[in-house]
Amino acid sequence: MNKLKLVIIGCLVSLTGCEVISEKAAPVEPVFVPVENEFCLFKMDTAVEHNCDLTYWLDFWVKHDGLSWTERKERINQLGETQAELMKKVLLSQGKGTPYQNRLRAQGWADELTPNLTEQMKQLFLVLVYRPSQELLEFESALTILTRMNTNQSKELHVQQQRLSEQQQQIDQLLKIEASMMEKKEGINQ
């Protein structure tokens, strides 16, 4: 066992020694590499207005985040099916009050968009939009299931309370009959 420890320590020391000896460590590539100092949403072969203007998209998202679901829904209905319009639909579907079905539809649009996004935007899109929306969908789904279970249990509890009440009435009637029979028996015995 001690020999194994020595071998492992020796390997670790020799590996770190190689790192020290190497002239230059490989540079760590940043996750987001701007194209020409800009972040482009879609691959360059996709013609999209404001494609490399990340500020435009963030402003769009923030500007519309405070709108009610009804207002955002109206704007979604006015949009078409281009890549830029699908992106707007997804962003409009992220605000508070978006119903489950509409958020689910937006996830479908997001799935449709993802293959056309640049690699750096895929990562950003997943972190900022897709995953949080997916988590909300999962929470809402779980909440719906728990609510249904709670409702069913409440109904079952009500049914059981009615049965108990009926059984209590039957027991009371039997006790009255028994008391009446006891009174008659005592009357006969006297």
- Phi, psi values for residue 38, rounded to 5°: -135, 155
Question: What's residue 102's pLDDT?
Answer: 93
Residue 7 has pLDDT above 70, yes or no: no
Question: What's residue 144's pLDDT?
Answer: 85
Orientation angle between helical segments 83-92 and 100-113, nearest 10 degrees? 150
Question: What's residue 45's pLDDT?
Answer: 65
- Phi, psi values for residue 85, rounded to 5°: -70, -35
SS (H, E, C) 153-169: HHHHHHHHHHHHHHHHH
Instruction: Give the pLDDT confidence of 74-83 residue by residue, as tens digits.
Output: 999 999 999 8
Residue 26 has pLDDT above 90, yes or no: no
The DSSP code for 93 is: T
Question: What's residue 38's pLDDT?
Answer: 62
Percentage of residues of the chain with pLDDT beyond 90: 36
Question: What's residue 46's pLDDT?
Answer: 63
Q: Which two tokens stand for residue 73?
A: 């829904």
How far, rounded to the nearest angstrom, does the alpha carbon of residue 134 sit from its chain's CA centroid? 4
Residue 19 has pLDDT above 80, yes or no: no
Residue 12 has pLDDT above 50, yes or no: no
Question: What's residue 146's pLDDT?
Answer: 87
Q: Of 103, 6, 88, which Cα lies nearest the Cα of 41?
A: 88
Mean pLDDT within 16-43: 54
**What is the DSSP secondary-structure string of 14-31?**
HHHHHHHHSSSPPPPPPS
Mean pLDDT within 51-79: 92
Q: Cβ(50)–Cβ(57) under 8 Å?
A: yes
- Rounded CA-CA distance 163/127 in Å is 53
